[in-house]
Amino acid sequence: MPYLWFLVILVGLVWAQSYVNLALPDYTSKIVNHGIVGKNIDAIWSNGTQMLLLTFLGGLCAIGVGFIAARISTGYTRRLREAVFTKVEGFSLDEFNKFSSSSLVTRSTNDMQQIQNVISMVLRIAFLAPFMGVGSIIKAHQMAPSMSWIVIIAIGVMMSMIIVLFMVAIPKFTIIQKLVDTLSLQTREMLTGVRVIRAYNKDDYQQKKFNTTNKQSTDLNMFVNRLMMLMQPLMTLVMGLSAVAVIWVGSYQISSGNLQVGNLLALMQYVSQTIMAFLMISIVFIMVPRAAVSGKRIGEILNTKPSIVDPEKASHLPEAAVGLVEFKNVSFGYQGSEQMVLENISFEAKPGQTTAIIGGTSSGKSTILNLIPRLYDVSGGMITIDGVNIKDIPQTELHAKIGYVPQKASLFSGTIKSNIIYGNPEASDDHIERAISIAQASEFINGLPKKLNSPVSESGSNLSGGQKQRLSIARALLKKPQIYLFDDSFSALDFKTDAALRSALKKETANETFIIVAQRISTIMQADKIIVVDEGKIVGMGRHDELLKSTPEYREIAESQLSASELLEEA
């Protein structure tokens, strides 16, 4: 509603500004005809004073229009950006796979800026230009009907130029925005992969790759900007030729007594205002299609329906919930793929027990874990927690029961403390210290100058892989969930730290459900249940010593990591 009132006020101010612009040439005519030619000093002072007051009023109106246009455009863009951010927050991993992260960033920044600029320009010009254009044509016709043909020809020439430029420039805008996406992606890859690039001496290759895209973007932007810059000199040329035509024809009209000198000067101003109005309209015609491309890209985000949503009729976990996780004939396949990643997965993960999942590369281990917090939804079958289908549980309630440590430790810019308390901001200092101690992170944190207040760079780039994993584990522990999900979360730890951490975790999670995906046999040897996955299917389930005898796939993994004597001891 406030925006509607702003718009009403804006239209009023634009009308007043247009009135002032159209009235000023009349005063010019009166000053020349009655004051200078008629030698009436009072007419000069009277009309001149009114002209100054109108000019001051027009200036105030222009300031008001600019302020309101900026208020509406920035406010609308802020709300639109919030809507996009909220929508993206609700995306599942399927939607993130559809939109690359670099494209989402570009759409939330560059495309938003395009829309904001155009809204501001349209509000300032779209109402003013038609008032001025139509009003100037009418006033010019009233002042010298016999010279209207000059205005008509000038308008025809301008419209032809606008149409030609419009047809040439529009197709380029879609390509430009896609190139912005590509540049953002390549920049992100270069910044995140700088170590690999330097290690393989690929600096020149990356630079050449980036320069190719950058040159394409630069050339297209130069082409479009040159077209837009061409508008002003062409319009100025038309304006100049029109002024020459007005003076040429007007001189004959004055000599024949059909036109006064003041009217000729006013007529020149009206012709100039008409051409300026069409110049402003041409700018809008050029800018709006570019913003339309950006609007379409943002609309693609807003119109995307998340594949994972809360149920209309939610079911809640029982008050006596203990965190029993059960997979019942679960199958899963990515959207658009005919091949199933997981087939007929069935097992129980009980509270107070450690359930480990192991298998070869791309066997589906991490996918099983990602299905529990509904990062993906199952394609078939059912996953339950304490007998309740996770699809029927509100996502906030489901996530509150889970402590998740991803395969790639994810930290946020801030401090070590802000990252640890991320899931439990109200945690006491004692609880924080306990979580850090269990995660085996006390030594390296206390060795830092600012300890818990030490800064963490974006994505934790100033920390080692092992340090990031331990902070991620401490973050999950501090949340005190009923279900722990560890996705290969010990891979960056040395064997000594790994063993100490597992021992501390076993005591801490004695009553919780603990599900771990691991590559190391040593990490899961003591698990209560080990699930062996191969090509998306469970090929073995049991304890370590049982699987060595019954499951060839597990024994093959064990033989690749353990010595013959260690295998013999375990067998």
pLDDT in tens, 36-60: 766 778 777 887 888 888 889 888 9
Tokens of 152: 């008509």
Residues of the chain with CATH 1.20.1560.10: 2-302
What's the Cα-to-Cα distance from 101 to each of 98, 187, 188, 457, 522, rounded to whole Å? 9, 12, 9, 19, 36
CATH (residue range 410-479): 3.40.50.300
What is the reported pLDDT for 566? 58
First to last CA, the chain: 76
Task: Please give the sequence-ordered ranges of beta strands (E in DSSP) within 474-523, or none if there are none.
Answer: 483-487, 513-517
DSSP three-state, residue 337: coil
The domain defined by 325-401+481-543 folds into: Rossmann fold (3.40.50)
Answer whether 523's CB lies under 8 Å from 497's CB: no
DSSP three-state, residue 549: helix
Question: Of all residues in the chain, what percent are helix, strand and coil, respectively (each to 5)?
Answer: 65, 10, 20
Tokens of 68: 């309101």
**Alpha-carbon torsion 380, 381, 386, 392, what sign?**
positive
CA distance 296 to 298: 5
- State the DSSP string of 125-152: HTTHHHHHHHHHHHHHHHH-GGGHHHHH
Q: What is the pLDDT of residues 363-407, one digit of tens each?
A: 888 888 989 988 888 888 999 998 899 998 888 888 888 888 888
Backbone angles phi, psi at 553, to 5 degrees: -65, -40
Distance of CA 233 to the CA centre of its chain: 37
Q: Is 204 exposed, middle or buried (0-12, 13-18, 19+ CB in 10 A)?
A: exposed
Answer whether 484's CB lies under 8 Å from 515's CB: yes
pTM over 0.85: no
What is the reported pLDDT for 277? 81
What is the reported pLDDT for 1? 47
Give the number of other Cβ atoms within 10 Å of residue 404's Cβ. Answer: 22
- What value, to the nearest 5°, has the Cα angle with vertex 371 and ends 368 and 376? 125
CA distance 401 to 484: 9
Which residue has 């004695």 as its token pair? Answer: 510
Please compute Rg for the chain using Cα positions. Answer: 36
Tokens of 479: 């949340």
Residues of the chain with CATH 3.40.50.300: 325-401+481-543, 410-479
What is the reported pLDDT for 553? 85
Render each residue's pLDDT in the chain as its tens digit; 571 residues: 466 777 788 778 888 888 888 888 877 777 777 767 667 787 778 878 888 888 898 889 888 888 888 888 888 888 899 998 888 888 877 777 777 777 788 788 888 888 888 888 888 887 787 888 788 888 877 777 777 788 788 878 877 877 777 777 777 777 877 787 788 778 777 777 777 777 677 778 888 888 888 888 888 888 877 877 777 787 778 777 887 887 888 787 777 777 777 777 777 888 888 878 877 777 777 777 778 878 888 888 888 888 888 888 888 888 887 889 999 999 988 876 778 888 888 999 999 888 999 888 778 888 889 899 888 888 889 999 988 999 988 888 888 888 888 888 788 888 888 888 888 888 888 888 888 888 888 888 888 888 888 888 877 777 888 888 888 888 888 888 889 998 887 776 777 887 888 888 888 878 889 999 888 887 888 888 999 988 888 888 988 888 888 888 888 888 887 665 555 555 4
What's the Cα-to-Cα distance from 140 to each of 244, 274, 304, 462, rounded to whole Å? 16, 9, 52, 70
Tokens of 139: 């006033």
92, amino acid identity: S
**Alpha-carbon torsion 562, 567, 570, 571, what sign?**
positive
CA distance 238 to 158: 8
HEC assignment per residue over 156-176: HHHHHHHHHHHHHHHHHHHHH
CATH number, domain 2-302, options 1.20.1560.10, 3.50.50.60, 3.30.470.20, 1.25.40.20: 1.20.1560.10
Distance of CA 44 to the CA centre of its chain: 59
Residue 328 exposure: Cα atoms within 13 Å on the Cβ side: 13
- Which contacts qualify for 497-505: CB closer than 8 Å, 24 or more apart? 497/440, 497/466, 497/470, 498/522, 498/523, 500/440, 501/438, 501/439, 501/440, 501/470, 501/473, 502/526, 504/437, 504/438, 504/439, 504/440, 505/438, 505/473
Backbone angles phi, psi at 348, to 5 degrees: -120, 140
Collect all residues with Cβ–Cβ distance below 8 Å to 432 and sequence separation of at least 6. Answer: 417, 420, 421, 452, 478
Q: Is 206 exposed, middle or buried (0-12, 13-18, 19+ CB in 10 A)?
A: middle
